[in-house]
């Protein structure tokens, strides 16, 4: 039963990382500078999960872990604002300002999915705790 707790805990950690990343995406929807202060629109990130074989059980169940957090490679949204201080000065997009291409609907759906997965893992932990408690009552 301890391995069930470990597997569910790994799921909680992974979903928490997803929710943190989604929160950052939503918070930076209108950021025109990157994390280092350089001019350029914020690029949304997404979490890549993978199986954690270190938590594998004899029955074949395994945990999950964050493999990496990737930046989305999408074109920024461009708006014609030639008087804006961050407008592109030359080239094909002269006079345009680049804005992050973060889709609020996509972020909300991802947040809902991550929240439901988090809740499911909490439910499994509660069930495991109840089963352990009942087992100890039977044995005592």
Q: What is the pLDDT of residues 46-71, one digit of tens each?
A: 999 999 888 766 667 788 999 999 99
CB atoms within 10 A of CB 66: 17
Tokens of 4: 């069930």
pLDDT at 119: 97
Query: Whose CA is closest to 12, among 44, 45, 55?
Result: 55
Rounded average pLDDT over 61-83: 92
CA 120/CA 27 separation, integer angstroms: 26
pLDDT for residue 107: 97
Could you tell me the residue range of the domain that residue 83 belongs to? 1-139
Spatial distance between the Cα atoms of 31 and 82, rounded to a whole number of angstroms: 18
Q: Read off the pLDDT of each residue in 80-105 and give the average, rounded to a whole number.
A: 94
What is the predicted pLDDT for the residue at 57? 66
Is the Cα dihedral 16, 33, 71, 98 positive or negative?
positive
pLDDT in tens, 17-45: 999 999 999 999 999 987 788 888 999 99
Element (H, E) at 71: strand 63-71
Q: How many domains does the chain have?
A: 1
Long-range interactions of 27-35: CB distance < 8 A, separation 24+: 28/100, 28/102, 29/100, 29/102, 29/104, 30/99, 30/100, 31/100, 32/86, 32/97, 32/98, 32/99
Position 1 scores a pLDDT of: 55
What stretch of H or E contains 40? none
State the pLDDT at residue 58: 66
**pLDDT for the residue numbered 38:** 86
pTM for the structure as a whole? 0.84
Provide the pLDDT for residue 2. Answer: 65
Mean pLDDT of all residues in the chain?
A: 91
Structure tokens at 15: 């979903």
What pLDDT does residue 140 have? 78
Whether pLDDT at 88 is above 70: yes
């Amino acid at each position: 039963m301890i391995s069930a707790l470990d597997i569910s805990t790994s799921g909680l950690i992974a979903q928490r990382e997803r929710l943190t990343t989604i929160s950052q995406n939503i918070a930076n929807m209108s950021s025109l500078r990157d994390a280092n202060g350089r001019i350029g629109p914020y690029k949304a990130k997404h979490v890549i999960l993978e199986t954690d074989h270190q938590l594998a059980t004899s029955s074949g169940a395994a945990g999950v872990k964050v493999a990496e957090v990737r930046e989305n490679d999408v074109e920024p949204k461009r708006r014609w604002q030639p008087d804006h201080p961050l407008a592109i000065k030359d080239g094909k997009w002269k006079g345009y300002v680049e804005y992050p291409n973060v889709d609020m609907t996509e972020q909300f759906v991802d947040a809902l999915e991550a929240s439901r997965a988090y809740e499911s893992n909490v439910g499994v932990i509660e069930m495991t705790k109840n089963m352990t408690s009942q087992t100890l009552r039977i044995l005592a």
